[in-house]
Structure 1
Amino acid sequence: MIKGSVDPNVLLTNARAEFMRSFTEAMQRTVPRCIEDCFIKADDTYSSLEQGRLLDARTVLVERGAYLVEQLTNGMEHLLARSFQTTYSTYRPSANFNTDNLTLIDPTAFEGGLRLEEITSRFRSEAEDQLRDLNIRIALIFEQEVTNERENPFRPYLFSRCISSTIERLEINPVLFDILLDRISDNFLSFVPSIYASVNNYLAQNGIAAQLQLKIRKSPTASGHSVQPHTDQEVDETSDVADETFGGASTPRMPAMPQPQVRRGSQFEQFFSSAMNRASNLITGKRSEATPSDASYDGVVGQAEVGHSGSHEAVSTGPFSWLKNGEAVSDAIRGFFGGSQSVNQSRGGASSEQAGEFSSSASVAAGGIAGVTQSSTHSTSDFSHTGSSLDRGSLSSSIPSFQKTYTPSGEEMFDGRGGLRNLILEQRGALNNLASSIDEKMTIDIVAMLFEFILRDTQVPAEIRAQLGRLQFLVLKLALKDNTLLTQKGHPARLLVNRIGSISLGLKQVDPSGIKITKEICRIVEIILQDESENPDIFSKMLDEFDAFIAQELRASDSQTESAIEGAEQIRNRTLRFAHTSAQLHEALLGLTIDPYLQNFFETVWVYALELADREDPKLAHRLRLLVPDLLWSIIPKSNEEERTQLLALLPIILRTLKEGMASINCNPALQEGLMNWLVDAHTKSMRLNHSGTIHKQVSLSAIHQHFNNFFADPDLQNFDALKKPDDSDVNKFLDNAIKELDIKVQLLDQVYVKELPKESSEEIPAVKDAGIDQVMEQLKTGVLVEINLGGEPSQGKLNWIDPALTNVILTLDGQEQPSMLSVRMFRRMIAHGRVKFLETEPLFERAVQSLLKSADVTEAPKLA
Structure 2
Amino acid sequence: MLGGCVIKGSMDPNVLLTNARAEFMRSFTEAMQRTLPRCIEDCFVKADDTYSSLEQGRLLDARTVLVEQGSHVIEQLTNGMEHLLARSFQTTYSTYRPSANFNTDNLTLIDPTAFEGGLRMEEITSRFRSEAADQLRDLNIRIALIFEQEITNERENPFRPYLFSRCISNTIERLDINPALFDILIDRISENFLGFVPTIYASVNNYLAQNGIAAQLQLKIRKSPVMQNSASATDHDDEETINPADELSSTNPVTNAMDGGGVARPKPRRGSQIEQFFSSAMHRASNLMTSTRNTSSSMADSNAEPSSTQQWQTDDSQEPASNGPFSWLKSGEAVSDAIRGFFGGGQTSGNQENTFQASDANSVAGQSQAQSGISGDTDHFSSSIGASPSVGNAANISPGRGHLSNSIPSFQKTYTPSGEQMFDGRGGLRNLILEQRSALNQLASNIDEKMTIDIVAMLFEFILRDTQVPAEIRAQLGRLQFLVLKLALKDNTLLTQKGHPARLLVNRIGSISLGLKQLDPSGVEITKEICRIVEIILQDESENPDIFSQMLDEFDAFIAQELRASDAKTESAIEGAEQIRNRTLRFAHTSAQLHEALLGLTIDPYLQNFFETVWVYALELADREDPKLAHRLRLLVPDLLWSIIPKSNEEERTQLLALLPIILRTLKEGMTSIQCNPTLQEGLMNWLVDAHTKSMRLNHSGTIQKQPSLSAIHQHFNSFFADPDLQNFAVLEKPDRSDVNQFLDKAIKELDQKVQLLDQVYVQELPKESTEDISPVKDGGVDLVMEQLKTGVSVEINLGGEPSQGKLNWIDPALTNVILTLDGQEQPSMLSVRMFRRMIAHGRVKFLETEPLFERAVQSLLKSADVVDAPKSA
Common fold by TM > 0.5: yes
Q: C-alpha displacement at 1:388, in angstroms?
A: 3.9
Q: Structure 1 residues 328, 370: CA separation in 2 closer, same or farther (over 3 Å shift)? A: farther
Residue of structure 2 in register with 1:780 after alignment: 789
2:844 matches 1:835: yes
2:461 matches 1:461: no
1:636 to 636, 645, 656: 645
Q: C-alpha displacement at 1:225, in angstroms?
A: 5.5
Q: Structure 1 residues 147, 665: CA separation in 2 closer, same or farther (over 3 Å shift)? A: farther
1:847 to 856, 860, 863: 856
Q: Structure 1 residues 640, 266: CA separation in 2 closer, same or farther (over 3 Å shift)? A: farther
1:303 to 310, 315, 318: 318
Q: Distance in 2 between matches of 1:761 and 1:692?
A: 61
1:524 partner SS: helix
The answer on whether the counterparts of 1:372 and 1:421 sit within 8 Å (CA) in structure 2 is: no
1:342 to 324, 343, 348: 348
1:610 partner SS: helix
Q: Distance in 1 between matches of 2:762 and 2:703?
A: 52
Q: Structure 1 residues 621, 317: CA separation in 2 closer, same or farther (over 3 Å shift)? A: closer
Q: Does 764-773 or 409-418 show the bigger shift?
A: 764-773
The answer on whether the counterparts of 2:798 and 2:845 sit within 8 Å (CA) in structure 1 is: yes
Q: Distance in 1 between matches of 2:292 and 2:870?
A: 40
Residue of structure 1 in register with 2:196 after alignment: none
Q: Distance in 2 between matches of 1:224 and 1:825?
A: 60
The answer on whether the counterparts of 2:348 and 2:859 sit within 8 Å (CA) in structure 1 is: no
2:342 matches 1:327: no
2:768 to 759, 771, 775: 759
Q: Provide the aligned length of Structure 1 versus Structure 2.
A: 592
Q: Structure 1 residues 458, 361: CA separation in 2 closer, same or farther (over 3 Å shift)? A: farther
Q: How does 1:551-700 map to 2 (within 5 A)?
A: 551-690=560-699, 698-700=707-709
Q: Distance in 1 between matches of 2:310 and 2:716?
A: 78
1:227 to 247, 265, 268: 268
What is the TM-score normalised by the length of structure 2? Answer: 0.63
> Deviations along 1:515-560, whole A, 9 cap, x unmatched?
1111111111111111122111111111111111111110001100
Q: C-alpha displacement at 1:345, in angstroms?
A: 5.6
Q: Distance in 2 between matches of 1:620 and 1:267?
A: 84
1:439 to 423, 442, 448: 448
> Deviations along 1:286-342, whole A, 9 cap, x unmatched?
xxxxxxxxxx7xx43x432xxxxxxxxx68775423222332111000000000113
Q: Structure 1 residues 226, 695: CA separation in 2 closer, same or farther (over 3 Å shift)? A: farther
2:717 matches 1:708: yes
The answer on whether the counterparts of 2:371 and 2:863 sit within 8 Å (CA) in structure 1 is: no
The answer on whether the counterparts of 2:419 and 2:472 sit within 8 Å (CA) in structure 1 is: yes
Residue of structure 1 in register with 2:869 after alignment: 860
Residue of structure 1 in register with 2:428 after alignment: 419
Residue of structure 2 in register with 1:733 after alignment: 742
Q: Structure 1 residues 147, 720: CA separation in 2 closer, same or farther (over 3 Å shift)? A: farther
2:533 matches 1:520: no
Counterpart AA for 1:321 = S
The answer on whether the counterparts of 1:267 and 1:319 sit within 8 Å (CA) in structure 2 is: no
Unaligned runs of 5+ in 2: 1-229, 233-257, 270-275, 285-290
> Deviations along 1:598-617, whole A, 9 cap, x unmatched?
11110010000000000111
Residue of structure 2 in register with 1:771 after alignment: 780
Counterpart AA for 1:323 = L
Counterpart AA for 1:341 = Q
Q: Structure 1 residues 450, 388: CA separation in 2 closer, same or farther (over 3 Å shift)? A: closer
> Deviations along 1:676-733, whole A, 9 cap, x unmatched?
0111111111112228999985211111111111000011101011111112111111
Q: Distance in 2 between matches of 1:303 and 1:694?
A: 103
Q: Distance in 2 between matches of 1:502 and 1:698?
A: 64
Q: Structure 1 residues 486, 706: CA separation in 2 closer, same or farther (over 3 Å shift)? A: same
Q: C-alpha displacement at 1:363, in angstroms?
A: 3.6
> Deviations along 1:809-833, whole A, 9 cap, x unmatched?
0000111110000011111111111
Residue of structure 2 in register with 1:19 after alignment: none
Q: Distance in 1 between matches of 2:703 and 2:813?
A: 47
Counterpart AA for 2:268 = V
Residue of structure 2 in register with 1:213 after alignment: none
2:417 matches 1:408: yes
1:375 partner SS: coil
Counterpart AA for 1:332 = A
Q: C-alpha displacement at 1:394, in angstroms?
A: 2.1
Q: C-alpha displacement at 1:861, in angstroms?
A: 1.6
Q: C-alpha displacement at 1:357, in angstroms?
A: 2.5
Q: Distance in 2 between matches of 1:484 and 1:341?
A: 14
Q: Does 366-375 or 821-830 show the bigger shift?
A: 366-375
> Deviations along 1:431-486, whole A, 9 cap, x unmatched?
11111111100000000000011011000001111111111111101111111111
Unaligned runs of 5+ in 1: 1-145, 149-216, 236-255, 271-295, 305-313
2:752 matches 1:743: yes
Q: How does 1:819-830 map to 2 (within 5 A)?
A: 819-830=828-839
Q: C-alpha displacement at 1:263, in angstroms?
A: 3.6
The answer on whether the counterparts of 2:373 and 2:462 sit within 8 Å (CA) in structure 1 is: no
2:569 matches 1:546: no
2:713 partner SS: helix
The answer on whether the counterparts of 1:636 and 1:697 sit within 8 Å (CA) in structure 2 is: no
Q: C-alpha displacement at 1:393, in angstroms?
A: 5.8
The answer on whether the counterparts of 1:766 and 1:832 sit within 8 Å (CA) in structure 2 is: no
2:590 partner SS: helix
Residue of structure 1 in register with 2:484 after alignment: 475
Q: Distance in 1 between matches of 2:851 and 2:512?
A: 13
Q: Structure 1 residues 696, 563: CA separation in 2 closer, same or farther (over 3 Å shift)? A: farther
Q: How does 1:151-166 map to 2 (within 5 A)?
A: none
The answer on whether the counterparts of 1:358 and 1:458 sit within 8 Å (CA) in structure 2 is: no
Counterpart AA for 2:415 = Y
CA RMSD of aligned residues (A): 3.4
Counterpart AA for 1:498 = N
Q: Distance in 2 between matches of 1:763 and 1:648?
A: 59
Q: Distance in 1 between matches of 2:407 and 2:588?
A: 56
The answer on whether the counterparts of 1:315 and 1:325 sit within 8 Å (CA) in structure 2 is: no
Counterpart AA for 1:811 = L
Counterpart AA for 2:592 = A
Q: Distance in 1 between matches of 2:752 and 2:597?
A: 34
Q: Distance in 2 between matches of 1:550 and 1:566?
A: 16
2:502 to 470, 486, 493: 493
Counterpart AA for 2:328 = W
Q: Distance in 2 between matches of 1:625 and 1:746?
A: 35
The answer on whether the counterparts of 2:335 and 2:868 sit within 8 Å (CA) in structure 1 is: no
Residue of structure 1 in register with 2:69 after alignment: none
> Deviations along 1:553-603, whole A, 9 cap, x unmatched?
100011000000011111111110000000000111111111111111100
